[in-house]
Structure 1
Amino acid sequence: MSPSYHAQLLSEYLKLAPHLEIPSTHRFSRPVLRHPDLSPNNILVNSSSDIVGIIDWQNAVILPLGLCAGIPDHFQNWGDHVSETLKKPVLQLPENFDKLSQDEQDSIRETMRKRLVHFYYAALTMKHMPDHFDALRNENAMLRVKLFSCAGAPWEGDSLSLKYALLQVHQNWPTSLGRDDTTESAPCPVQFTEEESRQCVDKREQEQEKLQELSEMKDVIGIDALGWVPDDEQLEKSKRIAEAIKEGLLAHSENEMERAALSAHFPFDDHDEDA
């Protein structure tokens, strides 16, 4: 893939950037040092489960609160209709839970776990950092975070995320941050035709569908988000399942191009198996 189209989108972002500035008097402009990857692997605890250290700070930066607010990837559950309301999720299992299959029970438990983790992170943020919580609830603040992150991330072939963020800004224009935002509104410097908007949304929906399928395959194979397994026994089991999935996909490929792509780029190949 050529990066030329991504460079074009970055030029569109630069047209928007001056209009997205957070006024210095706004509480979301407060400088914040935020950990770049607050994942369980980077949080050290002792035998009493007390947090005693946080590692992996090398990519940390200081940004205005309105550009770094959010729930870390390992704890967020955006896209779920319950989590997006930031309301306390239901804690009771369905009445017919014991009659469901093991896969259905596991799916329900995992859904509840994700919703609870998302909710409690947001609830603790509300208690200890109310400004941060208000930024989480501000649609235009979170849109700034998304656009800033997409534009600043190294290009790895994905231009759709940046284009979709630009489209959202266009659709939400003007992107006021509320009563404390005194920035004067100006016409949106980035424009999309109805056809461009429709195509972008359609591609985004297709991508989300494929990412969901990928996530479900990870669950079936028994690996985490980064591809790790807990022990050697699970490694052998995961490799067998992944190979079975690959063989099934190859058998149902419709043309030679699909078969070649699967053979060369199957996402669950164990590239370190001979190391």
Structure 2
Amino acid sequence: MPVLWHPDISERNIVVPETGALNVLGLIDWQHAVVKPYYLQANFPPAFQCEEETLAPTPVSMPKLPADYDTYTPEKQAIVRRQHRLMMRHKGYEMIVYTITDSQLRVRANWLPARYGRGNLPFFALRCWGDGIAPLLKCLLQLRERWSEVVGEANLPCPIDFSQIEEEEFSREVSRADRYTSVTMELREYFAIGADGLVSPERYDECKQECERLARLWNEEDTRAASARNGSLDIFGTFAPSESLISLEALV
């Protein structure tokens, strides 16, 4: 079933009232919107997505704060509260989707083998110039690993052919890129900034000073491959987990 789907329902693209009751007035940034099969479009909107499931014992459980939460340091409590908030939002969206809307169709789409690789391969193939090759490699590795499930035949050879050395190297590249993405997301939350690094004039000096402190803590080995492909983020600090990184360039 072909559908038109907004490609990036993230927080920065959802329009809400400045005051009064909170409701969605509209969506902006419709570039890259296309009509494609439903199973390739029905993604989990970034605005409600939380990759980590550590606060929920099973996929259908509601997240809970750890029993020993009160013993955590203030810094760790802040991290756990943030994760809990994101997981609650994630689970809330899941409940709406699977109990109110086209639940059976969405369930079937989500359970397709290698859905991430299928749905993102065309986009990431066109974005290597800006995002690096790691996202594309992630799609190819997943499709290669689950090829027999994708085509429904055990003996049909996969056209994606990597040597063992290449596969190991690409897997390390993807792991570093995933780590890089995870840390930058933590940073945006830590500094309360958007994807473009915007910060209010009142907070500029404070954020810049913190950037300079964290830049001295950056673990180059951790995200070397990924950071080398992103020219906009070139001065870093580590996330340890109470530490973070950010680009000074993005704050200028």
Instruction: Decide whether aligned partners of structure 1 residues 146 and 209 sit closer, same or farther in structure 2, where only a CA change above 3 A counts.
Output: same
The structure whose Rg is larger is 1
1:138 maps to what in 2? 112
Normalising by structure 2, what TM-score? Answer: 0.75
Q: Does the alignment pair 1:112 with 2:84?
A: yes
RMSD: 3.4
2:178 maps to what in 1? 208
Q: Distance in 2 between the 1:35 and 1:161 partners?
A: 20
For the Cα contact (< 8 Å) 1:32–1:64, is it kept in 2?
A: yes
Q: Distance in 1 between the 2:5 and 2:169 partners?
A: 35
Query: Deviations 1:53-103 (Å, cap 9, x if unpaired)?
Result: 223324321111122121122321235456796423333x33433332211
Normalising by structure 1, what TM-score? Answer: 0.69
For the Cα contact (< 8 Å) 1:242–1:268, is it kept in 2?
A: yes
| Matching of residues 47-126 of structure 1 within 5 Å | 47-80=20-53, 86-91=59-64, 93-126=65-98
2:238 maps to what in 1? none
Secondary structure of the 1:63 match is strand
2:239 maps to what in 1? none
Q: Distance in 1 between the 2:121 and 2:31 partners?
A: 23
Task: State the percentage of identical aligned residues.
Answer: 25
Gaps of 5+ in 2: 222-227, 236-245
What is the number of equivalent residue pairs in this alignment? 229
Gaps of 5+ in 1: 1-29, 255-260
**1:155: Cα distance to partner?**
2.1
For the Cα contact (< 8 Å) 2:143–2:150, is it kept in 1?
A: no
Determine which structure has greater relative contact order: mean sequence separation of CA pairs < 8 Å that are 6+ residues apart, divided by chain length.
1
1:34 maps to what in 2? 5
Instruction: Decide whether aligned partners of structure 1 residues 83 and 74 sit closer, same or farther in structure 2, where only a CA change above 3 A counts.
Output: farther
Q: Distance in 1 between the 2:157 and 2:53 partners?
A: 33
